[in-house]
């Protein structure tokens, strides 16, 4: 697959080649993603839109090595994900990918700082390095003053900002966001959108699944999905 210019672009962060994901159901198999070809280059900013149930989140999970395709090939930094075991895939997710969820999924018993520290500790970073990086990230998202607060003491927007900081903790090459403003009001959503733009501008590839047109419009590429396939935008580029 090429971009149409005849020149093969730089190594992709993640590349889906005709991936299909189906789920076995009592009433018969459901194909959530069908023959999708997609390439995310370093620094890309891609939005995936579509109606509810079109397979956006499933595609995001495939790109993030959280799920495996039923058919097709998924390459992460030129490695075929299918050949990797669970341990290797976990390592990729820990060090190379950042995830942001609609429902934040912060650990309620940890403070904001501890939530950001957690993936770094899991990656084996030294304590001092973690402390510095955590402080840096909380400053980046504007929450230095809330470092010692638990999620129950934060607003929705603040929680999502902590989640973004956590996702960036191990300097991933790819940030995946599943409806990051889904639980937020418009104003807060705009703040998050601006923050995500900044993250992308600093070099991290960004793929956002969203219903939010305002958020989607900030992406350089907008892909529309329907019934499991990409119907609008660029398929395979």
Count residues contacting other proteins (CB under 8 A)?
Answer: 36
Q: Which of residues 166-225 bind other proteins (CB under 8 A)?
A: 166-167, 170, 178-179
Contact 38, 47 (CB under 8 A): no
Determine if 161 is a binding residue for other proteins (CB under 8 A): no
Contact 226, 50 (CB under 8 A): yes
Which residues face 207 on adjacent strands? Answer: 46, 176
**For 117, which DSSP code?**
H
Q: If DSSP codes are grouped into helix, strand and coil, which group holds residue 64?
A: coil
Determine if 82 is a binding residue for other proteins (CB under 8 A): no
Q: Of the candidates 5, 26, 83, 87, which one interacts with other proteins according to CB under 8 A? A: 87
Q: Is the dihedral of CA 80, 81, 83, 87 positive or negative?
A: positive
Q: If DSSP codes are grouped into helix, strand and coil, which group holds residue 155?
A: coil
Determine if 34 is a binding residue for other proteins (CB under 8 A): no
Q: Of the candidates 15, 67, 158, 212, which one interacts with other proteins according to CB under 8 A? A: 67
Query: What is the nearest approach in angstroms of other proteins to the Cβ of residue 9?
Result: 27
Distance CA 183, CA 155 (A): 11
Q: Of the candidates 114, 136, 197, 234, which one interacts with other proteins according to CB under 8 A? A: 114
Query: Rule CB under 8 A: which residues touch other proteins?
Result: 57-58, 61, 64, 66-67, 86-87, 90-95, 97, 99, 101-103, 105, 107-110, 114, 117-119, 121-123, 166-167, 170, 178-179
């Amino acid at each position: 697959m090429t971009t149409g210019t005849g020149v093969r672009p730089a190594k992709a962060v993640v590349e889906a080649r005709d991936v299909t994901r189906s789920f076995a159901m009592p009433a018969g198999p459901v194909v959530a993603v069908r023959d999708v070809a997609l390439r995310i280059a370093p620094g890309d900013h891609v939005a995936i839109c579509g109606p509810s149930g079109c397979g956006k989140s499933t595609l995001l999970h495939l790109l993030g090595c959280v799920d495996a395709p039923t058919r097709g090939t998924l390459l992460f930094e030129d490695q075929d994900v299918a050949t990797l075991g669970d341990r290797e895939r976990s390592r990729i997710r820990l060090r190379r990918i950042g995830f942001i969820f609609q429902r934040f999924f912060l650990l309620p018993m940890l403070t904001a700082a501890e939530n950001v520290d957690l993936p770094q500790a899991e990656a084996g970073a030294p304590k001092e390095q973690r402390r510095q990086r955590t402080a840096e990230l909380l400053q980046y998202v504007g929450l230095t003053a809330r470092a010692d607060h638990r999620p129950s003491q934060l607003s929705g927007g603040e929680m999502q900002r902590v989640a973004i900081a956590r996702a960036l903790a191990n300097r991933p090459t790819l940030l995946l966001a599943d409806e990051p403003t889904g639980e937020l009001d418009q104003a807060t959503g705009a703040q998050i959108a601006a923050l995500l733009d900044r993250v992308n501008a600093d070099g991290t590839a960004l793929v956002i699944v969203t219903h939010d047109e305002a958020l989607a419009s900030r992406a350089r590429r907008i892909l529309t999905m329907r019934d499991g396939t990409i119907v609008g935008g660029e398929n395979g580029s």
